[in-house]
Amino acid sequence: GAGVSQSPSNKVTEKGKDVELRCDPISGHTALYWYRQSLGQGLEFLIYFQGNSAPDKSGLPSDRFSAERTGGSVSTLTIQRTQQEDSAVYLCASSLSASGRGEQFFGPGTRLTVL
Amino acid sequence: GDSVTQMEGPVTLSEEACLTINCTYTATGYPSLFWYVQYPGEGLQLLLKATKADDKGSNKGFEATYRKETTSFHLEKGSVQVSDSAVYFCALFRGGATNKLIFGTGTLLAVQP
């Protein structure tokens, strides 16, 4: 079966522009997570979805970041008015359920570069 | 709050050498512990896990034991191969309201032939 897919794989944008990053989780996985991997900060949790709702948005770094999930499947992470410090690899992961006890399956990531 | 500390890299070893990558954690309660691995050009993938004290996780010749008394989960392998070259991340999982993995900073392992 297909794994977690993310698009685009690479995104270069200019400071101040908005970007949308997409994640397709493994079919049937009800829990979906977004993380950010950057040189200075390591791997940081951003947001967690159970179904279409987000019980934990505590990792979103500012109100420029938002995410939604529709149909219990695809999720979109949106960054408005991008800044250079947003440059990072954005990783999406899914698990069979929220009680998957941490066994999360990761996508290949989207490398975002803000010029 | 919860945190994971792992040894700084890079770790450079010759093929067939022994490997230990140290990992310690700070957490209340009894989190599950994980090692994830990121091979060059690939996504992050689960290597092994342990869900309670004294559990030993193992996979691909790697082992790690959940030590509650020392709050540690060190990764070990008796004989590394060039193909083990990757970045290794120690992580803990907190269930309940947060349901997130908390990662260490990662350790780059380079194995030379």
Question: What are the tens digits of pLDDT across the range A2-55?
Answer: 899 999 999 999 999 999 999 999 998 999 999 999 887 789 999 999 899 988
- Strands across the sheet containing B19-21: B19-21, B75-77, B62-65, B56-59
- pLDDT score of B18 more than 60: yes
Would you say residue A1 has pLDDT above 80?
no
Average pLDDT for B51-79: 96
Residue listed under structure tokens 């540690």: B72
Q: For A90, which residue in chain B has the nearest alpha carbon?
A: B43
Cβ-Cβ pairs closer than 8 A, A with B, add up to: 66
Quote the minimal CA–CA distance from A14 to chain B in Å. Answer: 25
Closest of A96, A104, A56 to residue B98, by C-alpha: A56
Residues of B within 8 A of A3 (CB-CB) are: 43
My answer on whether omega of the bond before A8 falls inside 30° of 0, hence cis, is yes
What pLDDT is attached to residue B47? 97
Give the pLDDT mean for B47-55. Answer: 94
pLDDT tops 70 at residue A56: yes
Q: Which of B99, B102, B103, B108 is best to mutate for the A interface (most A CBs within 10 A)?
A: B99
Q: Pick the residue with more confidence: A107 or A58?
A: A107
The DSSP symbol for A73 reads S
C-beta atoms of A104 and B51 within 8 A: no
At residue A74, what is the residue type? V
Does B46 lie at the interface with A, CB-CB under 8 angstroms? yes
Q: How confident is the model at residue B91 (pLDDT cuts 50, 70, 90)?
A: very high
pLDDT value of residue A44: 92
pLDDT band at B43 (very low <50, low <70, confident <90, very high): confident
Give the mean model confidence (pLDDT) for residues B37-46. Answer: 91
Q: Could you tell me what percent of chain A has a pLDDT over 90?
A: 75
For all residues of chain A together, what is the average pLDDT?
Answer: 92
CB B112 within 8 A of CB B13: yes
Q: With a cut of 90, say whether residue B56 has pLDDT above it.
A: yes
